[in-house]
Each structure stands twice: as C-alpha cells, then as structure tokens.
A and B are shown apart, each in its own frame.
Chain A
Amino acid sequence: MIGYLVQRLAHLVWVLLAVSILVFLLVHLSGDPVRLLTPLDARPEDIERVRRLYGLDQPLPVQYWRFLKDAARGELGESFRFSRPALELVLDRLPNTALLALTTIALTVGVGIPVGLWVGSRAGSLVDWAVSLATFVCISLPSFWLGVLLILLFADRLRWLPASGFESPLYLVLPSLTLAVYTTGLITRLVRADVLEVLRQDFIRTARAKGLGERVVRSRHALRNALISTVTVLGLQLGNLLGGSVVVEAVFAWPGVGWLMLQGIQTRDLPVVRAVVLIVGTLFVLINLAVDLLYLYLDPRIRYDHGR
C-alpha cells in the first residue's frame, strides 16, 4: 500500500512535468511568440528588444526552466487584456466551473444510478428496452447543439429560464442539464451493465441459496458491488467536466474557466490560456489520483502492489 502510494506520487511528478511542458510549448506552437506581443508594423529592432525583455532570445531549455520556477511561485504572467495576474483570473472563475461540474454530477448520480439499477434488474423488459434507447440517444447528442436547442425552447420560446450569464441559481439549470444529459446516459448504461454482471456472480447465488430475500440480495450485495466501477467513471467524468465543459460554457456564456480560456484564445491573451491549461491539467491529474485511491479503498480485491 505504502509502496503503491510512493509510486503514484512519483508518477504524479512525471505527469505534472508533462503538463508543464505542454503548457510551455503551447506558446511556441503558434510560431514566433514575439509576434503576438508586438504590433504587426513593429520595427525589427523593437521586436528584438521585446524578445530580450521577455527572455525569448534564450535557448528553449533555459526558457522552460525559468517558466517552471515562475510557475512554482504561482507567477504565470499578467493578462494582456485585463492587466491582472492570469492565475488570479483563473482562480476567480474556477468556483463557477466547479459549481457547474458538481451540479451536473449530482444530477447524474440522482437520475443515472437509480434508473440504471432499476432497469438492470429488469433486463429484457420493455422498460429496459426504452431506457436503453433513450440513453443511446443521450450519449450521441453533441452537447453544444443540445444547449442551443434548450435555449431556443426554454429561453427564447417559453421564456421560463435565462439563457446566458450567471446571476442567480436559475442560470444554473440549462447548462447543467445540457452537460448532465451525456453523463447520465453514460452512467445509466454503466450501472445497468454492472448490475447484470454482478447478478451472475457466485456470491449472489450463495446469498440467495442461504435464503436471503431478493430485496436484501439486491440492495446489500448487488448494488454495492455494481457501484464500484461507477464511482471510478464518475470521478473521471468530474475531471472531464472541469475541462470539457468549455463548449457548454461558451454556449451559455457561463463565467467559468472554459469560457475564460476561449476568450483568451479569441483575444490572443496567451498568459490566460496558459494559466487555464495549467490549472485544469493539474486538477485533472489530482482528481484521477483521488479516483484511483478511492477505487483501491472500495474494492479490497485490488492490490496494486502485486499487479504492477
């Protein structure tokens, strides 16, 4: 167990280094970064002065090392557009993204798990068939399109709900619903499949054989074991939602980190884009680590020490 933890922490260092390299290289992928900092008609000598000013005349490894040192101290540069530290902007917006992600997960758990358990124990019935079809559609819809349609219906036509911004909890309804359609479809299918799988196991037969009621067999034995992989996938989805809701944040003008990044892209505000990628990447890695550890705790059959 301790060995596994040490291994995971070492792995964490590797991955965070990779994230930092990607973030560092993003600026250089776009060509000469100095051209982004100077006006199009800048004189060559001014361009060179800017290049020296930002240390962009140094070899890449030297620049990377400097970037790493700054990043470790939380200095990710200042936003060109807002004239505020980029990190501060990201941390300002992060709670909104987290709120949206957690609301989505709550909706997903609240609907997906009960429905999955319900149809899982009625496999082959008409209900099962209908739910399978519905979840299939749910995982096939492009989220941004769904968002646009929901706005068209509930905001433009019916005028029940606000379409963009975040001024009251009501603004949370449409974006979280949009995101939850996919995750709920995914989780429902997963729980259903896991229930089917678990009900075939020997320990279920044993539980029935020793005379336990069907209700107890299902709730105590089947449910708990069916949910192990669900917890893992939910964790991964939470990580995905922190980064992957960029498109939905854009549709609803939700003031989160995803939308901040897009605005940064549109206005060529590089420090902001960098800061978002770094923070979201790091969070994603940490959530994945937490999910792995949780998995280890939930399923005592797994012992990573021997497996790897």
Chain B
Amino acid sequence: MAVSAIPRPRARRRRPPQFYAGAAILGAVVAVAVLAPQLAPHGYADQDLLRSLQPPAWMRGGEWSYPLGTDRLGRDLLARLMFGARVSIAVAVLSVLIGGGLGTGLGLAAGYFGRWVDRLTSRLIDIQLSFPPVFIAIAIMAALGQSLPKLILVLAFVSWVQYARIARANTLAVREREFVLAARALGAGERRILLRHVLPSILPPLLVVGAVNMSSVILAEAALSFLGLGVQPPTPAWGSMVAEGRTVQSLAWWNTVFPGMAIATLVVGANLLGDGLQRERE
C-alpha cells in the first residue's frame, strides 16, 4: 500500500544559516577525527623530552614541525588534539544514538500503547529527571571504573530521558490524527503504524533534542576526562589535556588554551546545529 508514498506537498525549504554553520563545524571535526592518523604530523604518544614545552610555531623558540607546540613530555599538541577529537566524536555520536534510540523507543511505546506501559515509563522519566545528570555520571563513573564504552553508556544513561519526554508527548498528540487512523483503517499493523507513520512525524523535535543533548554530552565527557574519570592515558582526550596542561600552566599556556578551544568549537557546532533545526521548525 502506498499510503506513505504520497509526494511531499512542499518543496524542500532552505535551512537557516546556523544549521549549515553547525553542520560544517561538526563535519570538519569528524573528518579530523577519522583522518587523524593521516593528518597528524606525529604520533599522539611520540615523546621527545628535548622538546618539552616547546611553544607554538609563531612564537620565539617554536618550529613549524610542531605547529601548536609540545606538552611536558615533548609530545606534539596538534597531533594529540587530532587524536583527542576521536574520543569526543565517538562519545558524542554513540551516546546520542544510544540514549536517543532508547529514549525515543520508550517514549513512543508509552505514548502509543498507554496504560501500564505509559505509567511505568512516566514513572521512570520522573525518577530520572530527579537526578542531576552530570553529578550522577561522575558518581557512576567513579564506581564503575573508567573505559570508553562505560563512558558512552553512562552518558547515554543520563540522556535518554530528554528524548523519552518529547517522544511521549508528541506521540500522544499524533496518535489520534487522521493519517494514523487512516493507516489503521487500511489494516496496517502496529509495527508499521509506529515506524512508518508515527515515528517520522515526531522525529523533527527529537532532532533538536539530539543536537542540544550532543552539546551537553560533549561538555560532560570533557568534564569527566578533566577529572580523570573519563578515557585513561595515554589516549588523549581534550578534557584530560586541559588537566595535564594545568600542571604547567604558568610555563606553557598553550597546553591549556588549545584543548579548551577545541572543546568549545565542537560545542558551538552542536549548539548551532540545534539552533538551526529549532529555527527551521518555527
């Protein structure tokens, strides 16, 4: 049956500039993360103690083979930033996908099936909303021990509720709309109705939630890494680079400044994307 094959009534609108700016920033960071082994001028763990705390290339004592200078162990900062992008991107993408998938699924089921599914999910939502997310992530990471998969799962665990709330509310709103009733009247199964009719219509607001959530996940990952509760050395993460830079901050400001700028840039990208998606909907 070609119910969902009706051509879209409107031509694709141009999206607001914020959307493209955000997508460009995120795309660039993803490209750097993927291509880090090819792009980086050195390995992220290559030490050269003779070059310890060498300043960026444009300062006195810097050289262009170490463009952003080196850390205490003489490791190239640019290379470490490039490899550090991998952690941020992996956490951002996977936590958002897992948390978003889980939250959307639960919210969709609660809104569509109602009754005990809804009561149970709503209670879970209320409970999860009563925890301060970053604080709980810190406590759980401290108890669980640290690794990249655990980090991703913990951040997904504190994020799902944002999606579940919105998915539930919007499912409730479209459940009785004509196109859903029509699909049911035509004999479509529950699964088909949910996946082909309800899900696509509640997706746009969830994308906004996803972009906003991505920026908080990136910030949370950076904070956990800064506290030593994220990915463990020698794997570079931007948050832990700021923490390492702090130990030499009066001697070598570039060690703290550049990783922080990298985090801020990525967060700006995610926020711009969210802002663009939000404006498009208004």
Contact = CB atoms under 8 A, between A and B. Distances in A.
B256 A152 contact: yes
Interface of B: 123, 126-127, 129-132, 134-136, 138-140, 142-145, 215, 219, 222-223, 226-227, 229, 239, 242, 245-246, 249-250, 253, 256-257, 259-260, 263-264, 267-268, 271-272, 275
Interface in A283-297: 284-285, 288
14 contacts: A15-B126, A30-B145, A136-B271, A140-B271, A143-B219, A144-B226, A144-B242, A145-B222, A145-B263, A148-B256, A243-B134, A247-B226, A273-B139, A281-B131
Interface in A242-257: 242-244, 246-247, 250
Nearest to B131: A281
Given A26-B140, A27-B143, A136-B268, A143 B223 contact: yes
A149 B131 contact: no
B223 A137 contact: no
A161 interface: no
A232 to B, nearest CB: 13
Given A244-B134, A250-B227, A15 B267 contact: no
Interface string A269-308: 0000100010011001100100000000000000000000
Nearest to B270: A140
A227 interface: no
Contacts of B227: 246-247, 250, 262
Q: Which of B226, B256, B259, B272 has the most CB of A within 10 A?
A: B226
Given A140-B215, A149-B256, A246 B264 contact: no
B115 to A, nearest CB: 15
A244 B135 contact: yes
A273 B123 CA distance: 26
Interface string A146-177: 10110110001000000000000000000000
A285 to B, nearest CB: 5
B222 A19 contact: no
B39 to A, nearest CB: 24
Nearest to B267: A140
A152 B242 CA distance: 13
Contact of B260 (A149, A243, A288): A149
Nearest to A146: B260
Interface string A254-269: 0000100110010000
A20 to B, nearest CB: 12
Given A148-B246, A148-B249, A261-B139, A15 B239 contact: no
B142 to A, nearest CB: 4
Given A15-B126, A142-B222, A244 B132 contact: yes
Interface residues of A, number: 44
Interface string A18-32: 110010001101100
Contacts of B130: 15, 18-19, 281, 284-285, 288
A15 B128 CA distance: 9
B223 A247 contact: yes
Contacts of B268: 136-137, 140
A113 to B, nearest CB: 22
A142 B139 contact: no
A62 interface: no
A188 B129 CA distance: 24
Interface in A1-30: 11, 14-15, 18-19, 22, 26-27, 29-30
A212 interface: no
Nearest to B243: A144
Given A11-B126, A19-B131, A148 B242 contact: yes
Quick one: which of A142, A151, A273, A280 has the most chain B CB within 10 A? A142
B139 A140 contact: no
A284 B139 contact: no
